[in-house]
Structure 1
């Protein structure tokens, strides 16, 4: 497993954040800081591309929920893209597939 890597790019629809590595207790605060630093406008879409996430624990799930709250506070939406099967299983078990919009790729938003 590798430490968390975050890569940000802007699109017309809103920011895309590529998340790769371990989204766990040690690294989740880094994702929260990065998301909180993003300026979102009403109607935009924050895309979290999770294709590179190797591991996610409950702290990582909490960071994803914090990203959702940040987007909602700006009257924007959040989409989880390219969610790995292991993470989608966790999101399904805890009922968060009903809370988040999931897309096959970041380009599908």
Structure 2
């Protein structure tokens, strides 16, 4: 089991959380709390970098939805970057892939957001 790691980083588009390890029932509350601590500004992008995520169950997917709602409540957007293939598959099956913006990497997500700005 890989412990969950969460590292806040700033980007030109807004706050980024680098998430690694296993996101499951036991660790999802930590990510939910880290998201709630962020206060993205109106028009900013709240980005979850999942490049080091090794596992994600339904509890983790629920945190992504909560993060989407948190961003919207602040007038911001949410995007996921470097989403592992197995997580993309779950998001696709649940229909959330059409609701959550996903990018191959952080730089692409930031550039896409700034180009709309």
* Aligned Cα root-mean-square deviation (Å): 0.7
**CA offsets per residue over residues 68-89 of structure 1, 9 Å max, x none?**
1100000100000000101100
Tell me the secondary structure at the aligned position of residue 61 of structure 2.
helix
What's 1:75 paired with? 75
Deviation at 1:11, TM superposition (A): 1.6
**CA offsets per residue over residues 11-53 of structure 1, 9 Å max, x none?**
2210111100011000000000000000111100011011111
Give the structure with the higher percent helix. Answer: 2
What's 1:10 paired with? 10
**Residues of 1 paired with 2:107 and 2:39: CA distance?**
20
**Residues of 2 paired with 1:70 and 1:56: CA distance?**
20
What's 1:39 paired with? 39
TM-score by length of 1: 0.97
Tell me the secondary structure at the aligned position of residue 62 of structure 2.
helix
TM-score by length of 2: 0.91
Tell me the secondary structure at the aligned position of residue 26 of structure 1.
coil
**Residues of 2 paired with 1:82 and 1:37: CA distance?**
22
Matched pairs, number:
109
